[in-house]
């Protein structure tokens, strides 16, 4: 969690009691809301205890004066606040979160900032030790025996820990990164370009960021320790992106992007250096300019997918059709939206402009979008206009008030009209003008446009934009967005989506990880929900095929167990608790 400098609370002495630990001694129930428990016993004596044990307890805040434990302000009953409002001889205003150990003062209505050696710090440390007696941070196991461990907080690094927990459960990433680390050579077969000869490339050792990531993922899985320390990986991230230095509040989505981009850049550099050395040894490129040109040719035609693209890479295609001549154009880049509405737009991290594949070899036409003077290039497509804007799966419009991942994706992939200032500069209509001389002008027409997925990523990561600009400040959107455990992407894919088998009625992805942000912009905390599943088979020569077939059975009969992880604290939770959380990042793996 993160702390910020600010005024100190004046109520620490009167709002705490050093004898608190004696009151809690021998009581194993103090980590749950005692008032909710009493009400349940009075109102519903027939409720079975085993059902309750499967559910995650709500956020619990304990009074540092008397030890009363109550549910927080985001719960229905708000027993912690009601306890403070009950008259006492001394103020019972200081409470501590039993989830992330932050301290809050109801009188100040703010988080309490304290030194690491003072009266309050000592009390908090003792409470943590006491809590460990009843909720030990042992390395938990799913039904498959795969480990899930806590991660040490290095100083406001919960944003980092939450992402790493999700990556540690990305099975394809673990398998692929271990294979990459062991590779010392690479055979390049440029089948698409006969003029290029096959190359056997000797590879240098992986970059420090990639190597640190591999080490940490293996430590989380293999170590017998209950808590892993991600110090080396975080150090390497900070070296690549200085913005994460200084132990300040950071954003998990930005961290994920910088982390993946950093590993991707390292692998590209590693392979390119190997190709350069191989070309120099073969003496096929005599001068520097020719060497660069040949290297580019191999990059376009002969290289296998990069580590990051192999796991997370996909493509979005924008189709635009002139309403006048019915010519269609394609664009493979993700547009930047000015719409910040959480309900209307979602950013797909896995197919953004940093990861999307570039198709330079295509024949380009020109089009204008947003401002008439800005010219953008699109691919001309020879296709029956009647087949335009067809999707792989049937599209059903969401209910008007629906706020879900599906409704966001539906609106993101809706057909929109380009008109007036956004009109299309249609090269076909321009060429068809009778006057071809100097007096001919560009022809702008109304057009239809749709963004669809054209190549599916093995792992799909969705980012829900919860932080919005409001004037000069940034506010947080707390509206709940429903998300499915099994997501069908077929309605959001083009009818000619590349990596879909013929006859498949659906394109299914299974949820296995979530990053959650709780709290406010000024003081908040990142946690993770992860699903520990049986380990898939090791990578075969046919790549994803065997992996996907293994997961198909998992989708039809879901296996695995969900855990909620807050830094070092690991807690098993039910699916209903998972689906009620305020998701910020969602991690899905393809199963069909």
User: Do 193 and 304 belong to one domain?
Assistant: yes
User: Do 234 and 119 belong to one domain?
Assistant: no
**Contact predicate 194/124, CB 8 Å:** no
Could you tell me the residue range of the domain that residue 91 belongs to?
19-37+57-133
Is 44 domain-assigned? no
Is 165 domain-assigned? yes
pLDDT tens per residue across all 592 residues of the chain: 444 444 468 899 899 998 888 877 666 567 778 888 665 554 443 333 333 333 334 678 999 999 999 988 877 789 999 999 999 999 999 999 877 677 889 999 887 877 767 788 888 888 877 766 554 444 566 654 567 899 998 888 999 999 999 999 999 999 999 999 999 998 888 777 777 888 888 999 999 999 999 999 999 988 778 889 999 999 999 999 988 887 777 889 999 999 999 999 999 999 989 988 888 887 766 677 888 888 888 877 768 888 999 999 988 888 899 999 888 887 654 332 233 343 333 334 233 222 222 222 222 222 322 733 344 556 677 667 777 788 898 998 998 888 999 999 999 999 999 999 989 888 888 888 876 556 668 889 999 999 999 889 999 999 988 877 777 777 778 888 899 999 999 999 988 888 887 777 889 999 999 999 987 766 688 999 999 988 766 543 333 444 444 444 444 445 789 999 999 889 899 998 999 999 999 999 998 7
Q: Supply 250's token pair.
A: 């950071």
pLDDT at 515: 96
Residue 274 neighbours by CB distance under 10 Å: 20
User: Do 252 and 159 belong to one domain?
Assistant: yes
DSSP secondary structure string, 556-573?
HS---EEEEEETTEEEEE
User: Do 157 and 278 belong to one domain?
Assistant: yes
**Contact predicate 443/337, CB 8 Å:** no
Is 394 domain-assigned? yes
Strand partners, 515: 528, 585
Closest CA to 106 of 14, 2, 4, 11: 11
DSSP secondary structure string, 430-472?
HHT-S--STT----EE-EEEEEEEEE--SEEEEE---EEEETT
In total, the chain counts a number of residues equal to 592
Is 575 domain-assigned? no
Helical residues (DSSP H) of 473-521, grouped into ranges: none
**Angle 252-282/288-301 helices, nearest 10 degrees?**
120
Is 532 domain-assigned? no
User: Do 294 and 328 belong to one domain?
Assistant: no
User: Which stretches does DSSP call E strand in 189-278?
Assistant: 199-202, 227-228
**Contact predicate 591/552, CB 8 Å:** yes
The arrangement of strands across the sheet holding 447-455 comes to 364-368, 375-381, 328-331, 315-322, 447-455, 416-418
What are phi and psi for residue 95, nearest 5 degrees? -130, 155
**Contact predicate 127/155, CB 8 Å:** no
Is 81 domain-assigned? yes
| DSSP SS3 for 48 | coil
pLDDT at 521: 67
User: Do 207 and 284 belong to one domain?
Assistant: yes
Domain final residue pick, 253, 282, 308: 308
CA angle centred on 453, ends 450 and 551, rounded to 5°:
155
**Contact predicate 518/417, CB 8 Å:** no
In whole angstroms, how large is the CA radius of gyration of the chain?
28
**Contact predicate 515/585, CB 8 Å:** yes
Closest CA to 30 of 76, 92, 95: 95
pLDDT at 223: 78
Burial 194-213 (b: 16+ CB within 10 A, else e): eebeebebebeebbbbbbbb
Between CA 463 and CA 485 the distance in angstroms is 16
DSSP secondary structure string, 94-136?
EEEETTT--EEETTTTEEPP--SSSHHHHHHHHHHHHHHTTS-
Domain count, the chain: 3
CATH number, position 76: 3.30.40.10
Between CA 320 and CA 329 the distance in angstroms is 5
Sign of the dihedral defined by the CA atoms of residues 451, 457, 462, 468, in that order? negative
User: Do 298 and 344 belong to one domain?
Assistant: no
Instruction: Please report which helix (H) or strand (E) contains residue 279, including its range.
Output: helix 252-282
Give how far Cα 424 sits from Cα of 56, 263, 556, Å. 53, 38, 45
Domain final residue pick, 279, 308, 337: 308
Strand partners, 329: 320, 380
User: Do 409 and 449 belong to one domain?
Assistant: yes
Between CA 470 and CA 465 the distance in angstroms is 13
Domain final residue pick, 388, 423, 455: 455
User: Do 121 and 181 belong to one domain?
Assistant: no
Q: What is the largest CA-CA distance in the chain?
A: 95
User: Do 166 and 276 belong to one domain?
Assistant: yes
Query: Nearest 10 degrees: CA dihedral of 178, 516, 253, 567?
Result: -50
CA angle centred on 178, ends 175 and 180, rounded to 5°:
110
pLDDT at 518: 85
pLDDT at 26: 61
Q: Supply 38's token pair.
A: 């009493």
pLDDT at 132: 61
User: Do 157 and 281 belong to one domain?
Assistant: yes
User: Do 303 and 330 belong to one domain?
Assistant: no
pLDDT at 453: 92
Active-site residues, by number, are 158, 525
Is 578 domain-assigned? no
**Angle 158-168/231-240 helices, nearest 10 degrees?**
110
Q: Supply 159's token pair.
A: 């944003």
Is 586 domain-assigned? no
pLDDT at 340: 35
């Amino acid at each position: 969690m993160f702390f910020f400098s600010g005024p100190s609370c004046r109520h620490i002495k009167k709002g705490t009691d050093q004898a608190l630990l004696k009151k809690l001694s021998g009581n194993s129930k103090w980590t749950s809301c005692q008032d909710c428990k009493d009400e349940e016993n009075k109102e519903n004596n027939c409720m079975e205890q085993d059902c309750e044990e499967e559910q995650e307890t709500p956020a619990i805040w304990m009074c540092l004066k008397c030890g009363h434990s109550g549910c927080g302000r985001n719960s229905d009953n708000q027993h912690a606040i009601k306890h403070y409002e009950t008259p006492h001889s001394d103020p019972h205003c200081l409470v501590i979160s039993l989830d992330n150990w932050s301290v809050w003062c109801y009188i100040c209505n703010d988080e309490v900032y304290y030194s690491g050696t003072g009266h309050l710090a000592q009390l908090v440390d003792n409470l943590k030790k006491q809590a460990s007696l009843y909720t030990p941070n042992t390395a938990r196991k799913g039904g498959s025996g795969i480990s899930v461990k806590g991660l040490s907080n290095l100083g406001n690094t919960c944003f980092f820990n939450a992402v790493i927990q999700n990556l540690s459960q990305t099975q394809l990433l673990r398998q692929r990164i271990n294979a990459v680390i062991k590779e010392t050579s690479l055979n390049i077969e440029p089948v698409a370009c006969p003029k290029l000869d096959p190359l056997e490339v000797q590879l240098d050792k992986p970059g420090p960021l990639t190597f640190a990531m591999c080490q940490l993922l293996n430590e989380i899985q293999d170590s017998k320790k209950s808590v892993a320390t991600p110090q080396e990986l975080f150090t390497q991230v900070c070296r690549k992106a200085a913005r994460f230095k200084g132990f300040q509040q950071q954003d998990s989505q930005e961290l994920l992007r910088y982390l993946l981009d950093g590993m991707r850049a390292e692998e590209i550099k590693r392979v390119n250096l190997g190709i350069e050395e191989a070309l120099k040894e073969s003496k096929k490129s005599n001068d520097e300019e020719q060497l660069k040109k040949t290297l580019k040719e191999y990059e376009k035609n002969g290289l296998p997918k990069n580590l990051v693209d192999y796991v997370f890479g996909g493509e979005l295609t924008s189709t635009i059709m002139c309403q006048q001549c019915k010519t269609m154009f394609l664009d493979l880049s993700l547009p930047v939206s000015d719409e910040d509405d959480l309900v209307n737009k979602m950013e797909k991290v896995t197919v953004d402009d940093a990861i999307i594949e570039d198709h330079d070899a295509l024949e380009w036409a020109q089009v204008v979008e947003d401002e008439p003077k800005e010219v953008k290039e699109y691919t001309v497509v020879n296709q029956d206009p009647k087949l335009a804007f067809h999707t792989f799966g049937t599209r059903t419009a969401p209910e008007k008030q629906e706020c879900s991942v599906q409704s966001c994706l539906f609106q993101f992939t809706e057909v929109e009209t380009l008109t007036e200032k956004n009109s299309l500069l249609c090269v076909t209509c321009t060429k068809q003008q009778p006057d071809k001389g100097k007096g001919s002008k560009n022809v702008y027409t109304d057009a239809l446009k749709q963004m669809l997925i054209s190549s599916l990523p093995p792992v799909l990561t969705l980012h829900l934009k919860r932080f919005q600009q409001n004037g000069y400040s940034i506010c947080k959107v707390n509206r709940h967005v429903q998300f499915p455990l099994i997501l069908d992407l077929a309605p959001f894919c083009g009818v000619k989506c590349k990596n879909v088998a013929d006859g498949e009625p659906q394109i299914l992805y299974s949820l296995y990880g979530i990053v959650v942000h709780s709290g406010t912009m000024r003081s908040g905390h990142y946690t993770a929900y992860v699903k520990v599943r049986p380990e898939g088979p090791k990578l075969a020569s046919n790549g994803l095929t065997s992996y996907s077939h293994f997961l198909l059975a998992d989708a039809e009969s879901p296996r695995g167990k969900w855990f909620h992880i807050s830094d070092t604290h690991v807690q098993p939770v039910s699916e209903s608790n998972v689906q009620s959380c305020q998701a910020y990042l969602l991690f899905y793996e393809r199963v069909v």
